[in-house]
Amino acid sequence: MQQSEVISILKKELNFTDDSIKKLKNFVNLVLNENQKHNLISKSTESQIWSRHILDSAQLVKFIDFSSDSLADLGTGAGFPGVVLDIFNKNKSFHVKLYEKSKLKRRFLKKVISELDLSAQVFGDVREHSLVSNIIVCRAFKKLDQVIQVSREIAKRPYKLMILKGQNAQKEINSSLKTKKYPYKLESSITNNESKIILMDID
């Protein structure tokens, strides 16, 4: 999927504005430039950054209530999906919190927030903080059972969990919910037919 095709989906299906698209283009340039010096994303995905990273992250806007309080992105890395969601967000009362243990990546995230005039906040290792967000998202953080365990230990409940996963999503759900059941939905990813989005309510 090329940049122009992704931008068309972002605008027509996900309601990204022209201003948001402009910021996404700047964000992509910042990631690719930084990736020449430090490994933010896999080199093999650089040519597919618009579909593999931007659109994959952006599709979460369909499931997020931006009139709620705040969102926490666990293990955000280069800012996926958190920065993309903050670029989309139009509600000044909705706060995006980015958790990343790598000092180098935190420095990059702060640079992105400054240059793109975003309002997201950057924090360190999620285990060193308490979470008070209504929504917790993650992309390449940990396996589902670990995400549930970590988030339950540090988060104020209840909250919604939104996780971008590959083709083993259902298998991870089955093994994670053996002892305690949580209501969940599996949504198909718009970037890959085999990939899934796990939407789970944790109480």
**Is pLDDT at 10 greater than 80 in this prediction?**
yes
pLDDT at residue 68 in the model? 86
Domains and CATH numbers, the chain: 59-202 (3.40.50.150)
pLDDT at residue 51 in the model? 97
Mean pLDDT of 162-187: 92
Amino acid at 125: D
**Is pLDDT at 3 greater than 90 in this prediction?**
yes
For residues 148 and 18, what is the distance between their CA atoms, to the nearest angstrom?
36
- Mean pLDDT is lowest, of 32-41, 69-78, 87-96, 148-157, for 148-157
Buried b (16+ CB within 10 A) or exposed e, 123-135: beebeeeebebbb
For residues 134 and 67, what is the distance between their CA atoms, to the nearest angstrom?
11
Amino acid at 163: I
For residues 105 and 19, what is the distance between their CA atoms, to the nearest angstrom?
25
Mean pLDDT of 165-169: 90
pLDDT at residue 179 in the model? 83
- Strand 121-123's sheet: what is its strand order? 121-123, 95-99, 70-74, 135-138, 159-165, 196-202, 184-188
Matching residue, tokens 């008070």: 132
pLDDT at residue 137 in the model? 97
* CA torsion through residues 128, 157, 203, 61, sign: negative
Max avg pLDDT among 27-36, 157-166, 176-185: 27-36
pLDDT at residue 142 in the model? 83
**Is pLDDT at 180 greater than 90 in this prediction?**
no
What's the mean per-residue pLDDT of the chain?
94
pTM score of the predicted model: 0.95
Q: Could you tell me which residues come within 8 angstroms of residue 169 by beta carbon, excluding any fewer than 6 positions away?
A: 144, 186, 195, 196, 198
